[in-house]
């Protein structure tokens, strides 16, 4: 399960501490953005969550519960061992998965793109920044006033503007989660792992195992190969050596 950078300086809200950002970073996020991100633990901390409205807090709690009870756990229909998303358990343990509430009903498409660009700028600077740890950093932007019937069209438009650009230029994967999402698991086309109870956009760093999601999408596979370079060739070579492709064919 892999999902999900362009957000400018339009975010506002309540909780990633300034200490979570790398000292000496080339661009320091504005205070409104840095205070709009919450770890799951923050939701139970009154001092952290007191600036949230009741609707925002409820939406974040619903998403947090879904992540803990579904995304971070194994599932019998997943088609492989391990959690639905293998990176989430470690991200929760390290407190590098952040939730951000946003209302977008009165925003234009351009304003939404700018909003997302702003969050995109936060992710690289958030600690940790060591290359072997960045894969566990995730921002989940929860759209608290986005209705289920509008979610598909909304995410299709947002990702059309940002998806390829974010991956090609920033090395970030963006993905929309919502109740009617028909995206399927890699190892079981009958399993739907992206059907979140509240619509949200997930943003994370690209990882080399993303090829499994891009295999049937030539444009994305080319972007993946360009991003990972020689490591991409080595990864596919290792996968091919495990398969019986040398078997005689009629």
- Euclidean distance between CA atoms 178 and 193, whole angstroms: 10
Q: Is residue 5 part of a domain?
A: no
pLDDT at 128: 79
Residues 151 and 224 in one domain: no
Q: Is residue 11 part of a domain?
A: no
Q: Which two tokens stand for residue 178?
A: 């919502």
Closest by CA position to 99, among listed 62, 50, 46: 62
Residues 163 and 133 in one domain: yes
pLDDT at 33: 55
Closest by CA position to 241, among listed 249, 229, 233, 250: 233
Residues 113 and 54 in one domain: yes
Residues 215 and 104 in one domain: no
pTM of the model: 0.84
Residues 150 and 184 in one domain: yes
Residues 222 and 246 in one domain: yes
Q: Give how many domains the chain has, as a whole number.
A: 2
Residues 52 and 175 in one domain: yes
Number of residues that this document lists for the chain: 250
Taking CA 148 as the corner, what is the angle to CA 145 and CA 150, rounded to the nearest 5 degrees?
A: 80
Residues 154 and 226 in one domain: no
Residues 218 and 146 in one domain: no
CB atoms inside a 10 Å sphere around CB 179: 15
| DSSP codes, 73-112 | SB-TTSSSSSBSSTTHHHHHHHT-EEEEEE--TT--HHHH
pLDDT at 9: 28
Strands 138-143 and 97-102 turn out to be parallel
Residues 201 and 214 in one domain: no
- Euclidean distance between CA atoms 100 and 120, whole angstroms: 12
Q: Which two tokens stand for residue 170?
A: 């920033």
Contact 15, 39 (CB under 8 A): yes
Contact 43, 68 (CB under 8 A): no
Residues 6+ apart with CB under 8 A from 241: none
15: which DSSP letter? B
Residues 220 and 194 in one domain: no
Residue 233, domain extent: 208-250
In tens digits, the chain (250 residues) has pLDDT values of 544 333 222 332 333 333 454 433 333 344 455 678 999 999 999 999 999 999 999 999 999 999 999 999 999 999 999 999 999 999 999 999 999 999 998 898 889 999 999 999 999 888 877 777 889 999 999 999 999 999 999 999 999 999 999 999 999 999 999 999 999 999 999 999 999 999 999 999 999 999 999 999 999 999 999 999 999 999 999 999 998 888 877 6
Q: Is residue 2 part of a domain?
A: no
Q: Is residue 115 part of a domain?
A: yes
Residues 104 and 216 in one domain: no
């Amino acid at each position: 399960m892999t999902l999900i950078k362009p957000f400018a300086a339009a975010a506002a809200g309540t909780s990633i501490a300034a200490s979570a950002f790398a000292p000496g970073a080339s661009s320091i996020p504005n205070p409104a953005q840095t205070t709009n991100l919450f770890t799951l633990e923050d939701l139970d901390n009154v001092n952290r969550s007191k600036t949230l409205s009741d609707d925002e807090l409820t939406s974040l709690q619903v998403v947090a519960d879904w992540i803990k009870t579904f995304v971070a756990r194994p599932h019998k229909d997943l088609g492989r061992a391990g959690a639905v998303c293998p990176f989430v358990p470690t991200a929760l343990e390290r407190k590098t998965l952040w939730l951000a509430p946003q209302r977008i009903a009165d925003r234009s498409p351009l304003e939404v793109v700018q909003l997302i660009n702003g969050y995109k700028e936060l992710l690289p600077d958030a600690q940790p920044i060591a290359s072997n740890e960045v894969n566990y950093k995730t921002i989940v932007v929860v759209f608290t006033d986005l209705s289920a019937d509008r979610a598909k069209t909304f995410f299709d438009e947002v990702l059309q503007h940002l998806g390829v650009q974010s991956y090609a230029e920033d090395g970030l994967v963006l993905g929309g989660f919502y109740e009617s999402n028909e995206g399927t698991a890699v190892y079981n086309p009958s399993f739907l792992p992206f059907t979140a109870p509240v619509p949200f956009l997930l943003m994370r760093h690209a990882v080399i195992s993303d090829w499994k999601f891009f295999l049937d999408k030539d444009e994305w596979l080319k972007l993946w190969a360009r991003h990972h370079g020689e490591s991409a060739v080595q990864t596919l070579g290792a996968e091919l050596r495990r398969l019986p492709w040398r078997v005689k064919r009629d």
